Structure 1
Amino acid sequence: MAKDYSRTQRLGEQIKRDLAQMLQFQVKDPRLGLVTLNAVKVATDLGYADIYFTVMKPGMVEADEPTIKETEKVLNDMAGFLRTELSQIMKTRITPLPRFHYDISLERGHKLTNLINKATREDKDRNPGE
C-alpha cells in the first residue's frame, strides 16, 4: 500500500515553497508579472518537476495569451539557474529540473461557475413559482 504523503509529494511542496521565494526575492526579470505557483508534480526518478503557475501583470484582471506565452518562455529559459539555486538550498542528492506550465484549471473553474450560475438564473426565470 502506498504512503498517504509520498516523498515526491513532500519534495514537490518544498520545491514550490523555495521557488516561490526565489521568484519573489531573487529573480529581477521585468518580463515576469506576478507569478503564482499552484502545484508541483515531481517525477518518481526525480529527473524533473512539472510546475504549474498562473500570472498577472499590473493593471490586468486576467492574463492574455501573449503574457502567458512570454512568462512560460522566460521561466523555462531560467530553469537551469533555478535548478542550481534549488540544489544549494535543498539537501537532496538529485535536484529535479523545473519545467513550467501555465495552469488552466482556474480559468476552467471560472467558466464552469459562470455556466452554472447562468443555468440556475435561466431556470429560475422559466419557473418563478418554485
Structure 2
Amino acid sequence: MARSRPIRPARVASVVREVIARTLTFDIKDPRVIGVTVSDLEVTGDLQEVRVYFHVDGGPQRVAEATAALERAAGFFRRAIGEQVRLRLTPRLIFRHDASLEYASRIEARLAELGLGAGAPK
C-alpha cells in the first residue's frame, strides 16, 4: 500500500514555522530582519534540516542583508526550537529568499500592460 507524505514532517514544519515567526517578531533585535516574513518551510524526512523560505520587500541589497541577519541568528532560532519542540536533534536551518511574490508582481504588471489583467474587460 503506497503512503502519502508523512504527517510528522508536516507537523514539525507547522510548529517550527510558528516558533521562528514568534522569535522573529519578539526576540530578534537586529534591524535587518524588520519586515521579514516566513512564507514557507520544508522539513526533510529525517527531520534534520529545515529550509526556511522568507520574503522581504526591497532590492537585492535588502535581501542579502536579511539573509545574513537570519543566518547569523540561526543558533538563536535553533535554541528556541529546541526548547519548544520535542525532537531528538534540533534541525539545521537553511534560509532562502522566496522570490515568488516578486515574480507574481512582474507577471501581473506585464498582463496589465497587455490589457489582460484582473480589471481588464472580458
Q: TM-score range by the shorter chain?
A: 0.7 to 0.9
Which residue matches 2:78? Answer: 83
Q: 1:2 to 1:120 in 2, by over 3 A?
A: farther
How many matched pairs?
116
Q: 1:30 to 1:64 in 2, by over 3 A?
A: same
The amino acid across from 2:52 in the alignment is I
Give 3-state SS (helix, strand or coil) of 2:102's partner. helix
Cα displacement (A) at 1:5:
6.1
Which residue matches 1:111? Answer: 106
Which structure is larger by alpha-carbon Rg, 1 or 2?
1
The amino acid across from 1:15 in the alignment is V
* CA deviation map 1:67-96 (0-9, x unaligned): 110110110121122111110111122221
Confirm or deny: 8 A CA contact 1:72 1:100 kept in the other structure: yes
- Identify unmatched segments of 5+ residues in structure 2: 117-121
Distance 2:73 2:5 in 1: 33
Give me the CA root mean square deviation.
1.7
1:39 partnered with 2:40: yes
- Identify unmatched segments of 5+ residues in structure 1: 57-62, 122-129
Distance 1:11 1:117 in 2: 40
Give 3-state SS (helix, strand or coil) of 1:92's partner. coil
Confirm or deny: 8 A CA contact 1:80 1:97 kept in the other structure: no
Which residue matches 1:60? Answer: none
Distance 2:54 2:3 in 1: 28
1:15 partnered with 2:16: yes
The TM-score, its normalising length taken from structure 2, stands at 0.85
The TM-score, its normalising length taken from structure 1, stands at 0.81
